[in-house]
Structure 1
Amino acid sequence: MTFLSDDCLVSIFQKLQNGTDRNSFGLTCRRWLHIQNISRRSLTLHFSYETTAYQSYMRYLPTLLNRFCHLSSVSIAGCTELPDSALLGLKNLKTSLRSLSLYCCFKITDEDCGIQALSRGCRLLNVLVVSCCRDVVGTGLQGCSQRLEYIEAECCMFTREGLLGAVGAGGLKYLNLSNPRCSMNIDGVALVLAPRLQFLNLRLCRFISNESIATISKACPLLEEWSLAVCHEIGALGWKEIGLNCCNLKVLHVNRCRNLCDRGLEALRDGCGRLRVLYMHGCNQVSRMGIEMFRLRRYDVEIRSEECVSIGPRIYDFFA
């Protein structure tokens, strides 16, 4: 087998479907172990509430990132004590890394060695998960590549500058800013820089205003799914803007929106020509008559009562 080229061995390794066979391949000799290492495309450190588990992750992460030099997806979810410096090893993946999850990595920041280093160094990054990273406000994403299309930032307190940094490259298609702690008004002006946005999750952003809704609806003409569940401050004017401007909207979530009334529902009914699914329950100002009139005029729209936490594509499929 010594006459086989590395490319041939890589091809053989990639055809092995069984995990046991792949592990056995690397045990044959040092050369075959090297082939196994360079052929690995994903690394997942499984979320654990045990302190000893994520301490081990922190200890071995630099070695793993150095060993597997062609990873396209990395998930370090749950390493609550992981410092910015631990991300330096990702610089070796600048030509291959496409998906990165830092879910619940509480110590990660936007500083030079943290998110900022990633956005500047990993220019092929397509998916970034920073949900529950308490110190990430988005400013580290300033100057990120247009290839960054999916940002999962649930429970992150993005500032206006941070949001501008996240969307500034103009390539964003998916953005999740859902936040039960959000006491501020999401600045719709920042999303003017995200004309390709298709999926926007603002669930629990209670104080988003009619003005921000109007700006987003005009600036993001490609929106297909939008969650505004529990966005209490949106009134008739906001719903009217959605009806007028969201011509490509197919799925809308309005669960528990206190200020959605018959007039607002009428605006959605008469606009949003491509709407096919409306998630709605707990809207106490919407009368039964208003719902029946909606169904009569828009028989092509299915009204569902369940409330969805996630929308759009399954982000974690990128880490399978």
Structure 2
Amino acid sequence: MAPAKLEGCDRPKEEGARVCINDALTDDELRAVLRQLEKEEERDLFGLVCKRWLRLQSTERRRLRARAGPAMLRRMADRFPGLVELDLSQSASRSFYPGVTDSDLGVIAAGFRNLRVLDLQNCKGVTDVGMTTLGNGLLSLQSLDVSQCKKVTDKGLVAVASGCSYLKRLHVTGSKSITDELLKSLSKSCPCLEDLGLAGCNNITDTGLSTLADGCRHIKSLDVSKCTKISDVGVSRVAEVAPSSLKVLKMLDCFRVGDKSIFSLAHFCHNLETVVIGGCRDVSDESIKSLSLVCCHSLRSFRMDWCLNITDSSLKCVLSNCRHLVALDIGCCDKITDSAFHSLDMGGFESQLKVLKMSNCLKITISGVGSILQFCKYLEYLDLRSCPHITRLGCQQAGLQFPECCRTNFDGSLGESEGMVDFFF
């Protein structure tokens, strides 16, 4: 007798030859099969087999990216009761009207009680009213991104911090109305906070940063780029209270930050992986050397463009000691010369650098590029824009051989952004 065949169907089982898979497997067994499908497309195909499989797939769904609308959100809440991640973010350049509103946030707070991750980037229609609703309703929330939400202020985010005590990640990039009051609330109510993005929140001061550090002692990632009131006082306090946890620190264009901050990081924080000090013009060689020596095994990405006091000696120290460095930006450091790169290949190891930005480095020549290519065999992006002694033709005439997968940028505006480069910094 031929073995029975299993079918996924909604039809009743035929006598004899065939057995419907829906009769053979329980809901729990089908869920076990679904959990083995790692790709989202495969999980979606699972739901197309029949109504029963669609229902099971819906109850198991954990992540969803969607557009707004109260009616749609209510249907999603009914269909996806196990949802933990909801992405309603909009593109900065392309958005739809009216976008996410406070009414939508009310539906989310009432319908997605288990939500842990909510992304509202560029949702310019939400206000403090909606934030207060989230703070009262989503008690399990762990991650919230309201970057570029211009109508959100301290008042709404303090309500989020007070109600969502499990919060681990909060990004409020570009929210100029945010002040130290939010940092005080986070310090008091969110001891588990690990990732805080404050870039462009230029009303934040050292007082708020110090208060934050006192209560949130497990910070792993902190971005205070363009927070122009931040100085060595606040940065040093963060370094002191989060010595082992801090891995990412971004201080782009914080012109009040100087050597004292870098020495504090070198003294306390030996696990730093990403450091951004571009535009911190008072940082000098000695503090950079100190940091590169203590973080030699951890540092992966280092941005120090427009650090005008940096010279060959500190750059050579970084390149010689930080053997796991993947991305480096020394753009506009006009004291750097070819000497920083000569003899680096004599160090006995191969550089892991994938991204090297040195636009507008006035003293680097084709000879320096040749030394870089000998030392950096795995380059994927090399930025040589506005280097007056380096041209595409000159490199060709010198017989320089760039790695096959390396994109070399000789031309274009210095304001242009590269997606791959942004990933590292």
- Using the size of structure 1 for normalisation, the TM-score is 0.77
Match of 1:197 in 2: 272
Q: Does 1:61 align with 2:128?
A: no
Write the distance in 1 (CA, Å) between the matches of 2:353 and 2:77.
51
- Any conservation in 2 of the 1:225–1:312 contact (CA below 8 Å)? no
Q: Which amino acid aligns with 1:154?
A: S
Match of 1:103 in 2: 173
Change (3 A) 1:165 1:214: same
Match of 2:360 in 1: 282
- Any conservation in 2 of the 1:13–1:36 contact (CA below 8 Å)? no
Larger relative contact order (CA 8 Å, sep ≥ 6): 1
Within a 5 Å distance, the mapping from 1:1-320 to structure 2 comes to: 13-15=59-61, 23-24=74-75, 26=77, 36-47=111-122, 53=125, 57-80=127-150, 82-89=152-159, 90-95=161-166, 97-110=167-180, 113-137=181-205, 138-157=209-228, 158-167=230-239, 168-170=241-243, 171-179=245-253, 182=255, 184-186=257-259, 187-192=261-266, 193-221=268-296, 222-266=298-342, 270=346, 273-277=350-354, 278-295=356-373, 297-298=374-375, 300-302=377-379, 304-305=382-383, 306=409
Write the distance in 2 (CA, Å) between the matches of 1:243 and 1:209.
16
Q: Which amino acid aligns with 1:298?
A: F
- Any conservation in 2 of the 1:234–1:259 contact (CA below 8 Å)? yes
Q: Which amino acid aligns with 1:243?
A: L
- Any conservation in 2 of the 1:41–1:71 contact (CA below 8 Å)? yes
Change (3 A) 1:293 1:219: closer
Write the distance in 1 (CA, Å) between the matches of 2:258 and 2:162.
35
Write the distance in 1 (CA, Å) between the matches of 2:258 and 2:376.
34
Give how far 1:270 is off: 4.8
- Percent of aligned positions with the same letter in both sequences? 19
CA RMSD of aligned residues (A): 3.4
Give how far 1:285 is off: 0.7
SS in structure 2 at match of 1:213: helix
Q: Deviations over 1:44-74 (max 9, x none)?
A: 444266xxx3xx5123321222122221211
Change (3 A) 1:16 1:244: closer
Write the distance in 1 (CA, Å) between the matches of 2:251 and 2:418.
12
Give how far 1:174 is off: 1.1
SS in structure 2 at match of 1:212: helix
Q: Which amino acid aligns with 2:353?
A: R
Q: Which moved more, 1:69-78 or 1:181-190?
A: 181-190
Write the distance in 1 (CA, Å) between the matches of 2:366 and 2:162.
57
Write the distance in 1 (CA, Å) between the matches of 2:75 and 2:169.
27
Change (3 A) 1:12 1:81: closer
- Using the size of structure 2 for normalisation, the TM-score is 0.60
Compare CA radii of gyration and give the structure with the larger one: 2
Give how far 1:133 is off: 0.7
Give how far 1:115 is off: 0.6
Q: Deviations over 1:204-260 (max 9, x none)?
A: 323321122112212323101111222221012212321343233232222232111
Write the distance in 2 (CA, Å) between the matches of 1:103 and 1:293.
39
Give how far 1:22 is off: 6.1
Q: Deviations over 1:248-294 (max 9, x none)?
A: 32322222321110112227555575332333332121121222233
Change (3 A) 1:212 1:198: same
Q: Which amino acid aligns with 1:264?
A: A
Write the distance in 2 (CA, Å) between the matches of 1:314 and 1:258.
23
- Any conservation in 1 of the 2:342–2:368 contact (CA below 8 Å)? yes
Corresponding pairs, count: 293
- Any conservation in 2 of the 1:13–1:25 contact (CA below 8 Å)? no
